[in-house]
Structure 1
């Protein structure tokens, strides 16, 4: 009896230990989540700032001008030194249809003549002692020929402090970031109208989901907000809507583009000929686009494969599920075994009393 119990206990330990190890590989420390960002970023306004109550930079500049932009970084931690990476960044438009002030891997729009980061000095990383602040300054040079409209971007701050867990080992930690926006303009009071184009329509993948990607381009050197989009896809020559997309309160950076994702079925998008009909409204203007496109057999198969790959579970997750099932069965079986032993013991005791 003792041998059987020891064997069961050892087997349970064997199953539980890997589960605990797997469960701890991708955790984030609770104190990191509770603490939040341990630094603060604020603009230091130069003389050519148009409004010192905004909380971001709007600078009036002239052709060939050399100037500087400074930000103050405050370490709000009382005990830890922070290392903050500061990067001048050109603004883009995310595929969610919103202005993005963070560094982006996407290729710059071909109409963007002067990305903000190319006008500014290089990124810097500063080290700030606990409860102290430092000022970082970036130099910029405006092109001799000047420019029309706006140049938009930010000073992006990322906490790159290396931290150890309570056990002394390096682990996964939240990466906190923030940004201070920058608008450069030769005439800050001037507002240019958006100039929107439908660049391309193609099948693709959005967040591991088959989609038709409609690339919308803002060719104007002017940011704008309050954009609404209504789009539908039909089979060519038909009127029934099979896929649709809606966006409210979108925004776009100057001289940027984004791929509006019109999601298809989970199983994919069948090969065939389709028509995209799209209406975009912003700044009191309306754009209507209509484009025929084709999804080839090869593209349809690729979309279906991408969706299946996205839905597949990693091998370790399958192992984890089977191990959990085995553990549950083992615990249930062990419980029934103990119940049977106790009942047998009671019966033996009753028989002994009767005898």
Structure 2
């Protein structure tokens, strides 16, 4: 439940759970088992969707004495519950721009929120941070083919690689396009902000 957006009125974690005895399993080769989960639907009607899932990790005993890296296999089972009024539009809001670490390097994190209970799919992000003045410094982040979950936030990282941001005034420009999940309607948002470093 850590980091849930405050707009999530009914998180999946409050109405659904995997049976406690099924949370850690020990399986032999070619062995299968059935995992049981229970979801208690909310008593009150809700709009849009409640979205979440269960994350499974297979811990492999594949580390040897001369290895420093080992890997585990993970996958997720998604759960989506439809509300009585399902036809809700996603909405993007600009939340903040803050210094972050991205791949252990200095970066600016542009946080956007979707406070509505609907998925935005086929998302294309384009974010630019540029320094005003004669010695302009322009950085770009672009990604396509993403989705934004209902009642969630996303942080776009603009890397400064190994450099420090110089003091000055910066212009933040973000364009996001995507499709509403339920009717495939194209949607777009543009945000322009100014910040001082």
Provide the TM-score with structure 1 as the length reference: 0.48
Deviation at 1:172, TM superposition (A): 5.9
Q: Is residue 292 of structure 1 aligned with residue 194 of structure 2?
A: yes
Determine the C-alpha separation between the residues in 1 that align with 2:192 and 2:165: 19
Residues 4-43 of structure 1 aligned to structure 2 (within 5 Å): none
CA deviations over 1:237-285 (Å, ceiling 9, x no partner): 78x6611221212211111111101122522211222110111111212
Q: Is residue 228 of structure 1 aligned with residue 143 of structure 2?
A: no
Q: Whose Rg is larger?
A: 1
- Go from structure 1 to structure 2 and tell me whether the alpha carbon gap of 1:164 and 1:247 turns closer, same or farther (over 3 Å shift): closer
Q: Would you tell me which structure has more strand in proportion to its own residues?
A: 2
Q: Would you tell me which structure has more helix in proportion to its own residues?
A: 1
* Aligned residue in 1 for 2:162: 266
Q: Is residue 209 of structure 1 aligned with residue 111 of structure 2?
A: no
Deviation at 1:114, TM superposition (A): 1.8
Segments of 4+ moved more than 6 angstroms: 164-167
Q: Tell whether the 8 Å contact from 1:234 to 1:243 is kept in structure 2 after alignment.
A: yes
Q: Tell whether the 8 Å contact from 1:202 to 1:293 is kept in structure 2 after alignment.
A: no
| Partner of residue 199 from structure 1, selected from 92, 95, 112 | 95
* Aligned residue in 2 for 1:186: 83
For structure 2, the residue ranges without an aligned partner over 5 or more in a row are 180-185
- Count of residues paired in the alignment: 187
CA deviations over 1:71-125 (Å, ceiling 9, x no partner): xxxxxxxxxxxxxxxxxxx7xxxxxxxxxxxxxxx61111112221221135522
Q: Is residue 137 of structure 1 aligned with residue 36 of structure 2?
A: yes
Q: Greater RCO between the two (CA within 8 Å, min separation 6)?
A: 2
Determine the C-alpha separation between the residues in 1 that align with 2:125 and 2:62: 46
RMSD, aligned CA = 2.8
* Aligned residue in 2 for 1:115: 11
Determine the C-alpha separation between the residues in 1 that align with 2:116 and 2:93: 10
SS of the equivalent of 2:13 reads: helix
CA deviations over 1:4-35 (Å, ceiling 9, x no partner): xxxxxxxxxxxxxxxxxxxxxxxxxxxxxxxx
For structure 1, the residue ranges without an aligned partner over 5 or more in a row are 1-89, 91-105, 296-355
- Go from structure 1 to structure 2 and tell me whether the alpha carbon gap of 1:107 and 1:266 turns closer, same or farther (over 3 Å shift): same
CA deviations over 1:130-169 (Å, ceiling 9, x no partner): 32211111112122223211111222221136x37688xx
* Aligned residue in 1 for 2:74: 177
- Go from structure 1 to structure 2 and tell me whether the alpha carbon gap of 1:196 and 1:165 turns closer, same or farther (over 3 Å shift): closer
Provide the TM-score with structure 2 as the length reference: 0.82
* Aligned residue in 2 for 1:310: none
Determine the C-alpha separation between the residues in 1 that align with 2:132 and 2:31: 64
Residues 1-355 of structure 1 aligned to structure 2 (within 5 Å): 107-122=3-18, 123=20, 124-160=23-59, 163=61, 173-187=70-84, 190-236=86-132, 242-283=138-179, 284-295=186-197
